[in-house]
Amino acid sequence: MAIQPLGKEVKSLKKTILLLLSLFVVTVFTFGCATKEYVKEQVDPLADRISKLEAKVASIEAKVASIDAKISNIEKQDSTFSSQLDQAKKEISETKAQIKDCCTKGETAAERAEAAAKRAEAAAEKALKAFELHLKK
């Protein structure tokens, strides 16, 4: 077998490569390049949507901050009410003790009054008997 010159094959390969390269260049310039207008058309709707979402997020963050402030205020009020409730419970307890003391004193006074009334009745009976004896004389 003899070695044949590669001249024809190299020329054919060069033509094929040149054809493929030309086809690639035409394809890239026809379909591959994006113009500024095309990019703007594609990006503007996304930018609008992002702007709207950012506005919504800002609104939600403001609402959350407002709710946090209200919760903080309610917690302060709760703390105030809790201390007022504790004070009221203490005062009620003291008042109950005073009422119990008054009731005890009232019962004691009633018992003394009953005893005094019994002594007065006894004295009245004694005076009546003495008066009757005095009349009989």
Per residue in 55-107, pLDDT (tens digit) is 999 999 999 999 999 999 999 999 899 999 999 999 999 999 999 999 999 99
Per-residue pLDDT of 94-116, as tens digits, reads 999 999 999 999 999 999 999 99
Intra-chain end-to-end CA distance of the chain, in Å: 188
Buried b / exposed e over 101-119, threshold 16 CB at 10 Å, is: eeeeeeeeeeeeeeeeeee
Size of the chain in residues = 137
| pLDDT score at 27 | 73
For the cut 70, the answer to whether the pLDDT of residue 53 exceeds it is yes
Pairwise CA distance, residues 124 & 109, whole Å? 22
What are the backbone dihedrals phi and psi of residue 2, each rounded to the nearest 5 degrees, phi first? -105, 150
pTM: 0.44
What are the backbone dihedrals phi and psi of residue 35, each rounded to the nearest 5 degrees, phi first? -85, 165
Alpha carbons within 13 angstroms on the beta-carbon side of residue 72 total 6
The encoded tokens of residue 126 equal 């004694």
Q: Dihedral of CA 69/70/74/75: which sign?
A: negative
